[in-house]
Amino acid sequence: MNFSGCGCLLFLPTKVAVSTSILSNSKRWEFLWMWLPKLEYDHSMDERKSLSRFINLNMPLHRAPVIESLRLNFSHGYTGSVTPEDVRQWVALAVTRFLRELSLDLTSEDNPTKLPSSLYTCKSLVILELKGSNLVDVHRTSCLPSLKTLLLQGVLYADQKSLHKLLSSCPVLEDLFVEQYGCESEHFLEAVSVIVPSLQRLTLKLCRGYFFHRLVINTPSLKYFKIEDYTYEHTNGIDDDDYSFYSDDMPKLEEMEVHSTYLDIQNFALYREGIVLSQLRRLKLCSCTINWSKLLVRLLKDSPNLQELEIHLDGDHTNICEDPPVCWENELACVPDCLLSSLQTFKWTRIYGSPKEVDLVKYVLRNARCLKTATILFRSISYSALEEDELEMVIQDLSLSSRGSKDAKLVFV
């Protein structure tokens, strides 16, 4: 059989191919669809209520020896004719065709979609993305020997061990993204343990509510780590003693982003006291973190090769914290190595404008010997510590303040 005839279709969205197949009676289109290695469907294709019939009739006849990817998006709910059982069957079928990538974005008002157990032993799967009401239900014998990328966004877990079992079945996993939507549901995890020796990138977005209370990270190969850890209510309704966060050494860490409304840096172990983050090049810290400036001081001291530092405020955190920063001259009496030898870019966006914050900017400008650019964005006046005329003066003051690097450019945006 000659495959070249459908080469031009490989990059044609399946959507177009399928609609054409459904809408026209052309046997030729239907024939070509049979060979598409990438299958993608969403609710917009179901207007004529014929999608599930079409797929159900044709998928078993689908002839591409390998289904590269199957992407289903019913994030607006199962409208029309598609049911969770259909999705289950299509996934089961795709798994038998050396599936490499599966992406499911589902919403269902009723029960979450339970995926076929064969998915969790799929040897060929490299990328798995599950969004919305997928039920992650992993059995003991699961094994995903090729899985490198795993995204679990707002999914539900059959039991408290499901995530752990899933991660334990991925020996070569490199990139993991886990987000829990909301804080309270029987399907949410009370504790998250990420113990994955091969992991290089980790993004966690977790809501610390009445359920979730423990996070353990053991990822010695990690290069990129982003954590968003926010409380359900921005009140003190949660017993802090009930929450623990422990992470082991990450000697290869190059980039870190911390957006958290709660990091008790006394008890908190983003990393242990005494550890040097020698590979850390880029750091981004949300200034809504409680005691964020203490965390910053510690990170500056412990990251001798830091090149890029960004302090910013997440858009949806504005009303939470006006946590006054520490007094820099005391905390950083001894200038951290990264300022003396590596920091090139400093960015602070949506700065509140309090005198201590302005002091920090001056401190960096004065001490950073290799600084190339400092970029400052003040918050809009209504959310700022400064009046319009004060702002002008602060800008003037900063522009004239002394610089440790004669090449440093100061930019106000």
Ligand X SMILES: *[C@@H]1O[C@H](CO)[C@@H](O)[C@H](O)[C@H]1NC(C)=O
Please state the closest distance from residue 294 (CB atom) to ligand X, in A: 6
* Contacting residues toward ligand X, per CB under 6 A: 73, 75, 103, 105, 131, 264-266, 290-291
Closer residue to ligand X, CB minimum distance, 120 or 268: 268
Please state the closest distance from residue 396 (CB atom) to ligand X, in A: 33
Please state the closest distance from residue 323 (CB atom) to ligand X, in A: 8
Closer residue to ligand X, CB minimum distance, 43 or 165: 43
Pick from 142, 139, 137: nearest CA to 159 = 137
Please state the closest distance from residue 218 (CB atom) to ligand X, in A: 24
Please state the closest distance from residue 103 (CB atom) to ligand X, in A: 5
Q: Quickly list H helices, 72-145.
A: 84-95
Closer residue to ligand X, CB minimum distance, 76 or 123: 76
- Token pair 């700022």 is found at 384
- One-character DSSP codes across 243-304: -EEEE---TT--EEEEEES---TTT-BSS-TT---TT--EEEEETTSTTHHHHHHHHHHH-T
Please state the closest distance from residue 266 (CB atom) to ligand X, in A: 6
First and final CA of the chain: distance in angstroms? 60
Closer residue to ligand X, CB minimum distance, 275 or 290: 290
Please state the closest distance from residue 43 (CB atom) to ligand X, in A: 7
Closer residue to ligand X, CB minimum distance, 105 or 229: 105
- Rounded to whole angstroms, how far apart are CA atoms 399 and 393? 10
Pick from 322, 325, 311, 317: nearest CA to 377 = 311
Closer residue to ligand X, CB minimum distance, 326 or 365: 326
Closer residue to ligand X, CB minimum distance, 30 or 40: 40
The phi and psi torsions of 114 (rounded to 5 degrees) equal -90, 125
The phi and psi torsions of 409 (rounded to 5 degrees) equal -105, 135
The CB density around residue 407, as the number of other CB atoms within 10 Å, is 10
Closer residue to ligand X, CB minimum distance, 167 or 297: 297
Please state the closest distance from residue 334 (CB atom) to ligand X, in A: 20
- Rounded to whole angstroms, how far apart are CA atoms 10 and 116? 27
Helices (H) and strands (E) in the chain, counts: 10, 20
Is 185 in a helix, a strand, or coil?
Answer: coil
- Rounded to whole angstroms, how far apart are CA atoms 196 and 287? 29
